[in-house]
């Protein structure tokens, strides 16, 4: 690449929860500090057909679920997979790929690996080996990102020195490092609002408040819907585990309010949690903000790197500042990113605080920052209270405070069996940090705190969407594997099929459930057992079966995969003769891969084929829509 132009470096990213966007912005920032102009764009805002016009492209992509591409990447990826693209289509294009993933998942960084291979197959040239960020690393994905970027800058400089006029290792003086915030806050006088707009009264609608706050958020993803599909009212909050057993799993039932909504079994419900109002007030006070102010948030300039809808931002209606913080900024549970500490260091007026913040964002302090921040799950409010001399402008806070994210849950009900209701099975998250501080999950603990008799006025914003478990037709025999709260979608499957089971015509279900102790956390025990005899869908007489593994009720641990091996002949018959489909749901750690290994062994043993052939058969099941996994960390 002998061209000495100053064409900007293109950084394309695909982010599901915002981590890949954070990493891509870091790559862009570090390149610009070295004198290289950058264009930053989400893949769903970039025309894949114009990739051939680029000389150098950096890709930053995350892997979601069980090896899935982020929503923002799906159209772009489909374009790259076209069979009519020649092998020389990207000849002359240089690229680098950085992936974000979690090695606790079986398909670790699967999307980055697939993208790397496909770009190579289309004739593009990799300039550095792909980087694979790992959430399990002591420093998170940055443990891989930092050395990968160092290699990237040096190779880019070798390819074209004009990328970095002062060399790849040049960093300007500290005083020149702070960027300008990308967003501006416009404050509106209440009197003028009341005189000129009905916005104050209009904005009292919960749906409008949520839509307004979240559509103005810098973290607004183009495919993410701001307005809730429905509001829910809790009508049941029932513990499913024995009190004092060390685990708290709840069964929640909600009614739609004010209207009904349609969904399928296997769908996912997203809930926007409510933050502790005292902590929101403490944040507003700590930052010297006026909770009564009305504001609009808008980008300073339109560009490909802005995720805000430009058409909306030009006419954005004002929102109360406190409401914006409550609905769009996670100040009470999420840990801030590294760049938050970097910007804090510029606003620290106490020398010892400035030194500590500068150390945290240095390469030497990276691991200590991870221990202080992510490992302890320090919240934005806690971090700001630890550095009292820092007064960050609200523009920076809006840009850098983690967004308040919706929490996703597998739906545990059936629209046929539970009309106008949706049910969830939720483990109330709690843990102790390395410094022995008790932490609670924001959404699960909030839901658990609601009393249906007392919370009649509490409406819960909710969104419905398809998950990884498509609703099966009643004629399809099922093999379900769902330990712990993984049983949630299968409660819906069973209820739906029972409603469809006119004159015992529906296909049978084999269900493998697992928990720690029979007396502590045998979730929905009576429901499963009632369907496992008298000709029920889980009864062996119908060709089904209910098999439960109590992992800690005996000296030797017993898990769902052990119970599956005990029923290997029956599973093989259901697959080979009955055409059954396998559905797996639960924790992402080892369970999905252990289950797949057990299925592979069963096919090999009962089918009399080599393990390699059994693995091919599983891939065929996946291709044919007969093997589905929904896993979460």
pLDDT mean over 249-278? 92
At residue 242, what are phi and psi to the nearest 5 degrees?
A: -70, 135
Which residue in 517, 527, 459, 454 sits closest to 492, CA to CA? 527
Q: Which of 289-303, 493-507, 599-613 has the lowest mean pLDDT?
A: 289-303
Residues 86-100: pLDDT tens digits? 999 999 999 999 999
Q: Which of 220-234, 483-497, 572-586 has the lowest mean pLDDT?
A: 220-234
- The pLDDT of residue 176 is above 60: no
Residues 360-372: pLDDT tens digits? 988 888 889 989 9
Residue with tokens 């029920």: 536
Helix (H, G, I), strand (E, B) or coil at 581: strand
What is d(CA 367, CA 370) in angstroms, rounded to the nearest whole number? 5
With a pLDDT cut of 70, the percent of the chain lying above it is 92
Q: What pLDDT, on the 0 to 100 scale, is given for residue 303?
A: 40
User: Which residues sit in the known binding site for FAD?
Assistant: 377, 407-410, 441-444, 632
pLDDT mean over 340-353? 95
Burial class (CB in 10 A: 0-12, 13-18, 19+), 365: middle
Rg (CA), the chain: 26
Does an H or E element contain 601, and which? helix 591-607
Q: What six digits make up the tokens of 91?
A: 């000849």
Q: What six digits make up the tokens of 53?
A: 């016009």
pLDDT mean over 273-286? 97
Q: What pLDDT, on the 0 to 100 scale, is given for residue 3?
A: 43
- Give CA separation, 58 vs 15, 43, 49, 156, 166, in Å: 14, 11, 16, 11, 21
Residues 418-454: pLDDT tens digits? 999 999 999 999 988 888 889 999 999 999 999 998 8
Residues 519-535: pLDDT tens digits? 999 999 999 999 999 88
- The pLDDT of residue 588 is above 80: no
- The pLDDT of residue 633 is above 80: no
Residues 126-157: pLDDT tens digits? 999 999 999 878 777 888 998 999 999 999 99
Distance of CA 124 to the CA centre of its chain: 30
Provide the residue count of the chain.
Answer: 633
Q: What six digits make up the tokens of 467?
A: 């998950």
Residues 457-494: pLDDT tens digits? 789 999 999 988 999 999 999 999 999 999 999 999 99
User: Which residues sit in the known binding site for NADP(+)?
Assistant: 485, 551-552, 557-561, 594
What SS3 string covers 612-629? HHHHHHHHHHHHCCCEEE
Q: What pLDDT, on the 0 to 100 scale, is given for residue 296?
A: 93
CB 57 within 8 A of CB 91: no
pLDDT mean over 235-259? 92
State the Cα angle at 313 between 311 and 314, rounded to 5°.
Answer: 70
User: Which residues sit in the known binding site?
Assistant: 15-20, 62-65, 135, 377, 407-410, 441-444, 485, 551-552, 557-561, 594, 632
Q: What pLDDT, on the 0 to 100 scale, is given for residue 384?
A: 98
Q: Which of 232-241, 496-505, 508-517 has the lowest mean pLDDT?
A: 496-505
Q: What pLDDT, on the 0 to 100 scale, is given for residue 310?
A: 34
Side-chain-side CA neighbours of 57 within 13 Å: the count stands at: 25
Q: Which of 198-202, 367-371, 539-543 has the lowest mean pLDDT?
A: 198-202
CB 525 within 8 A of CB 560: no
- The pLDDT of residue 43 is above 50: yes
Q: What pLDDT, on the 0 to 100 scale, is given for residue 207?
A: 85
CA dihedral defined by 101, 102, 105, 106, rounded to 10 degrees?
60
Q: Which of 9-18, 111-120, 476-485 has the lowest mean pLDDT?
A: 9-18
CB 528 within 8 A of CB 546: yes
Q: What six digits make up the tokens of 226?
A: 């701001």
Q: What pLDDT, on the 0 to 100 scale, is given for residue 610?
A: 95
The chain-wide mean pLDDT, for the chain, equals 89
- The pLDDT of residue 551 is above 80: yes
- The pLDDT of residue 313 is above 80: no
Domains of the chain: 9-176 (3.40.50.360), 478-632 (3.40.50.80)
pLDDT mean over 379-405? 95
* 203 — pLDDT class (breaks 50, 70, 90): low
What is d(CA 596, CA 600) in angstroms, rounded to the nearest whole number? 6
- The pLDDT of residue 121 is above 50: yes
pLDDT mean over 507-514? 96
Which residue in 493, 497, 495, 498 sits closest to 474, CA to CA? 497
**Residues in a beta bridge with 186:** 296
Q: Which of 161-175, 502-516, 594-608 has the lowest mean pLDDT?
A: 161-175
Q: What pLDDT, on the 0 to 100 scale, is given for residue 221?
A: 63
Q: What six digits make up the tokens of 124?
A: 């593009």
* 195 — pLDDT class (breaks 50, 70, 90): very low
Does an H or E element contain 368, and which? helix 366-372
Helix (H, G, I), strand (E, B) or coil at 602: helix
Q: What pLDDT, on the 0 to 100 scale, is given for residue 311?
A: 35
Question: Per residue in 14-41, is it b (16+ CB within 10 Å) or e — as a string?
Answer: bbbbbbbbbbbbbbbbbbeebbbebbbb
User: According to DSSP H, which parts of 187-337 are helical?
Assistant: 190-196, 199-202, 206-216, 277-286, 310-314, 321-328
CB 512 within 8 A of CB 549: yes
Peptide bond into 614 cis (omega under 30): no
With a pLDDT cut of 90, the percent of the chain lying above it is 66
- The pLDDT of residue 53 is above 80: yes
Q: What pLDDT, on the 0 to 100 scale, is given for residue 503?
A: 76
Which residue in 315, 25, 288 sits closest to 181, CA to CA? 25
- Give CA separation, 94 vs 51, 53, 159, 248, in Å: 11, 11, 10, 51
Side-chain-side CA neighbours of 221 within 13 Å: the count stands at: 24
More confident residue, 284 or 173: 284
What is d(CA 479, CA 493) in angstroms, rounded to the nearest whole number? 11
Within a 10 A sphere around the Cβ of 53, how many other Cβ atoms? 10
Q: What pLDDT, on the 0 to 100 scale, is given for residue 174?
A: 52
Within a 10 A sphere around the Cβ of 52, how many other Cβ atoms? 15
Q: What pLDDT, on the 0 to 100 scale, is given for residue 191?
A: 55
What is d(CA 94, CA 159) in angstroms, rounded to the nearest whole number? 10
Helix (H, G, I), strand (E, B) or coil at 235: strand
Counting other chains too, the contacts that 168-176 makes at CB distance below 8 Å and 24 or more residues apart are: 168/34, 170/34, 170/35, 171/33, 171/34, 172/33
Question: Per residue in 227-251, is it b (16+ CB within 10 Å) or e — as a string?
Answer: ebbbbbbbeebeebbeeeeebbbbb
Helix (H, G, I), strand (E, B) or coil at 75: helix
């Amino acid at each position: 690449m002998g061209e000495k132009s100053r064409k900007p470096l293109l950084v394309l990213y695909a982010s599901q929860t915002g981590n890949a966007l954070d990493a891509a912005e870091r790559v862009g920032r570090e390149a610009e500090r070295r004198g290289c102009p950058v264009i930053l764009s989400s893949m769903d805002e970039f025309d894949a057909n114009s990739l051939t016009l680029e000389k150098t492209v950096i890709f930053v992509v995350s892997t979601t679920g069980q090896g899935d591409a982020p929503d923002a990447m799906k159209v772009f990826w489909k374009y790259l997979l076209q069979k009519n693209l020649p092998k020389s289509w990207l000849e002359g294009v240089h690229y680098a790929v950085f992936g974000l993933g979690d090695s606790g998942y079986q398909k670790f960084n699967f999307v980055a690996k697939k993208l790397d291979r496909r770009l190579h197959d289309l004739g593009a040239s990799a300039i550095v080996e792909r980087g694979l960020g790992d959430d399990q690393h002591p420093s998170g994905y940055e443990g891989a990102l930092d050395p990968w970027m160092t290699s990237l800058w040096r190779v880019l400089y070798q390819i074209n020195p004009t990328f970095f006029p002062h060399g790849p290792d040049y960093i300007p003086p500290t005083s020149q490092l702070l960027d300008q915030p990308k967003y501006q806050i416009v404050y509106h006088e209440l009197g003028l609002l009341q005189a000129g707009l009905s916005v104050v009264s209009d904005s009292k609608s919960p749906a409008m408040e949520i839509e307004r706050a979240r559509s103005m958020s810098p973290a607004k993803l183009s495919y993410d819907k701001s307005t809730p599909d429905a509001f829910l009212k809790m009508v049941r909050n029932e513990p499913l585990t024995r009190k004092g057993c060390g685990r708290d799993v709840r069964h929640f039932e909600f009614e739609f309010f004010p209207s009904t909504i349609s969904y399928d079994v296997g769908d996912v419900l997203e809930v926007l949690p409510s933050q502790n109002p005292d902590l929101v007030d403490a944040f507003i006070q700590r930052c010297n903000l006026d909770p009564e102010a009305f504001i609009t948030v808008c980008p300073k300039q339109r560009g490909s790197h802005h995720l805000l809808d430009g058409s909306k931002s030009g006419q954005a209606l004002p929102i109360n500042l406190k409401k914006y913080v409550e609905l769009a900024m996670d100040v009470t549970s999420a840990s801030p990113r590294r760049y938050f500490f970097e910007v804090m260091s510029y606003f620290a007026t106490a020398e010892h605080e400035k030194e500590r913040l500068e150390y945290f964002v240095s390469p030497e302090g990276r691991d200590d920052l991870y221990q202080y921040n992510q490992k302890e799950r320090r919240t934005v409010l806690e971090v700001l209270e630890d550095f009292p001399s820092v007064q960050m402008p609200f523009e920076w806070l809006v840009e850098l405070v983690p967004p308040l994210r919706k929490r996703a849950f597998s739906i545990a009900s059936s629209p046929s069996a539970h009309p106008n209701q949706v049910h969830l099975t939720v483990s109330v998250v709690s843990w102790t940090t390395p410094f022995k501080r008790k932490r609670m999950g924001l959404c699960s603990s909030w839901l658990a705190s609601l009393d249906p008799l007392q919370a009649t006025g509490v409406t819960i914003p909710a969104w419905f969407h398809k998950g990884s478990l498509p609703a099966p037709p009643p004629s399809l025999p099922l093999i379900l594997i769902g330990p712990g709260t993984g049983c949630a979608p299968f409660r819906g499957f069973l209820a739906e099929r029972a409603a469809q089971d006119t004159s015992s015509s529906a296909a049978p279900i084999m269900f493998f459930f697992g928990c720690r102790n029979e007396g502590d956390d045998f979730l929905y025990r009576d429901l499963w057992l009632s369907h496992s005899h008298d000709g029920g869908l889980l009864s062996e007489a119908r060709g089904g079966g209910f098999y439960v593994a109590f992992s800690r009720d005996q000296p030797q641990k017993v898990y769902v995969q052990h119970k599956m091996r005990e029923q290997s002949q029956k599973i093989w018959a259901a697959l080979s003769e009955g055409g059954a489909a396998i559905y797996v749901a639960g924790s992402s750690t080892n369970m999905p891969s252990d289950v797949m290994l057990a299925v592979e062994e069963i096919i090999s043993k009962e089918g009399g084929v080599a393990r390699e052939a059994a693995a091919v058969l599983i891939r065929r099941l996946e291709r044919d829509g007969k093997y589905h996994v929904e896993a979460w960390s």
